[in-house]
A and B are shown apart, each in its own frame.
Chain A
Amino acid sequence: MSILGTRVVRTEDPLFLTRGAVYTDDLTDERLTGALHVTFVRSQVAHGRILSVDTSAALEAPGVVAVVTATDLTDLAPIPAGFPFVDKAVIRPWLASDVVRFVGELIAVVLTEDRYQGEDAAEMVVVDIDPLPAVVGTQAAARDEVLLFPDVGTNVYAAFGEPAPEDFFAGCEVVVSQRIVNQRVAPVPLETRAAAAVWGEDGRVTIWCSNQGAQAAKMEIASWLGLDPSLVHLITPAVGGGFGAKIGADPEFALIAQVAKIVGRPVRWSESRSENLVGMLHGRAQDQVVTIGGRRDGTVEAYSLVVDQDAGAYPRLGVVLPTLTMLMAGGVYAFAKVHAQARVLGTNTTSIGAYRGAGRPEATAAVERAVDLFAAELGMDPADVRRKNVIPAFDSPHTTSMGATYDTGNYAAALDKALEAAGYADLRAEQARRREAGDVRQLGIGLSVYVEITGAGGEAGAASENATVEVHPDGTATVLTGTSPHGQGHATAWAMIASDQLGIPLEKITVLHGDTDLIPRGGGTMGSRSLQQGGAAVHQAAGELVELAKKRAAEKLEANPEDLVVDQGLAGLAVRGTPGVGITFAELAADEQLLVQTTFSANGPTFPFGAHVVVVEVDVESGKTEVVRLIAVDDAGTILNPLLADGQRHGGFAQGVAQALLEEVLYDSDGNPTTSTLADYPFISATELPSFELVEMATPTPMNPLGAKGIGEAGTIGSTPATQNAVIDAVAHLGVRHIDMPTTPMRVFRAIQQAQQGGN
């Protein structure tokens, strides 16, 4: 029986859970002996002109070896926007010396012998800033009264799509429109960012940093520092979560390398949680307007989504996120007409990057809210409206009006499975009972049906990935992958794939990643791409290794290669029909290195889909929500290891519920962050979550031989709108139409109050 599809326990966990793995900040590499510690001096002002940076007192402080400012970095070109469609004048200084554009912007680098000395000395760097009015929020940015880059003449960094034709909703019997805030959230990985660097006598720099793809991070740092990529060796130690915010490199990582060069000593840095909450990329941050129109029978005829994406101060991946939102705007629906348009605006805030789902959750949240608004307007059951409008089941590619080509899908079946598992009719009956009785705790039932895109090019790297599989003479095997696990369990999964084809037991297979000398190419782990590309590459490499072994074994066994088959028990090859006559892969490796390096290229991305039902109880006197059930159908094609897939789903649900109910990064009107510690940023915990009810559904994709679609982000994409819809559903009978996320108790309470006063 194949090991694939079974709940293999994560082989990496004993290390993580007992001794603790080696994260960047734990490194004891001897090359880092005597490393100086970096403390960054960051702007406390959101927008302003720097009048002076005085380092003299800091230089006298105990343990201070150097304080690096912009004047020490004049040989580095500033960081370009990195997107061809963004104005060339939108550049980021390595260390600000002229204008600061967000609280947290880098101004100076303090290098001390001891980490403790750094914070004391950093406080002594005196930065005098003449404040300018701050641009906070997309509406203020769009007014262009205060400009982040006066030379550019506008805060609009990019614009995509055209306005909807004026008659877009002509002929619709019902049209509903709503402004929706898809709020800014912080990724909050358990491991904050960290980096270390040392230059060798050969002129090469070795950089260790916490990231989601060593190869891309290396290329970015090399290009920023003007180095030939061959001079950069980047190593990714264990990584404690990234959620998209660790894609590529951050300027801090390159700065660590640069200051190591300046001081001629190894250097290391590890940020605090407060530094992380302002210094690391944030996610989401879209202001949306949805308009939906159709017939009174529930048929939607036209849907429009207009997005204002907050980019933060300097362009990062946030600049392209709305293109994914636009691509997926119509979701699972066969709406006759879909329109989407977006602007990307610069503001005096932390830059926006990818965050679990990256552009797709924003699309799903918008359309799932719109469908609910439409159903509410018609007085129809939201499940019925969904059933009426979803794209019928298909198993050959379906191209949407936004230009996405969905591989396989059966959305109505996903919805029905979720509703059945939830006991939808009973829930509605219970809801009616509580409404009738005027209970304090009202029941809300929220639905979402989603389709998303995983393993796309662009944001997720190339749609291809490489893998190397080598069997050693001692019977062990090594797998090298261009993917970059940071919690997902690739070591287990990739070993399962190799073991399945070679018969080599899991414990004899080592999976390596994240060292650019060892693995020069790789796309990293992001966009839920890893199994469908990286896993598929391991599968292909192991398959090719078997073919290579057959050729070599055929001579030895004096058999025809076609007559040789893998003998799992032997971990080698045997002659078909002649049991006992065989040779192990290890024996073949003893004669000649047995190694295959290969690249798997997918024909295209895959489109995982599913349906979530969230049940909440809302205390209508206080406005507080409790999530009591979360039922999820997440169809990610063929499942390699249900345990790993469940883990991805669980984490995704938690983050989705967190966005719907709790989390929001806030700034005051001067651009000061007010959620820069975990005392203020309401990170979700297990006590706020129910036990999840997982429903299985697996529709294989033809896009890779494993039949696998991505599962890393689906949980978030589905659960966020289902939770928001549930909260609103709980108080809909009181006249509430919409509540923005996070649906805090105060917001829910106010929405009820306003609805009762006839407003909303």
Chain B
Amino acid sequence: MPYTLTINGQQHELDVDGDMPLLWAVRDHLHFTGTKFGCGMAQCGACTLHIDGVATRSCVLPVADAVGKAITTIEGLATPAAKAVQSAWVELQVPQCGYCQSGQVMSAAALLEQNNAPTDADIDAAMSGNICRCGTYPRIKAGIKMAASQVRNAGGAA
């Protein structure tokens, strides 16, 4: 049946089953391919996007439950904290294969919106749901710290 989703500030109509996970609606029907598929069972974080600002695994969220919410995908990331994460990722050359990195960036950006001075333990807690088989974890951690200090210097986020 038809659903209206609000993605990156724009309304999108699509006609799919309500139990289709948001991931596949976004990827296969709306062609936002930045959000990745890694496990389909909320284990790897590759499909992370923001629902009303909260990092959410889209592979287990039915489309019907996303109606009326503000959905942000990697393509729509725009807050200063998110931009700081992305520029730290480039500066520290975080990605290797990159397949997990959309999800890593989404989780990291959501963390910084809540906490602009995360400790190692905070970062482990927020990021351990995102698997990186290339092992970029040390650089992700350094990237989050770099972005956090940039956010603090700009006087932004919590």
Do chains A and B stick together as partners?
no
Residues of B participating in the A interface, judged by any CB pair closer than 8 Å: none
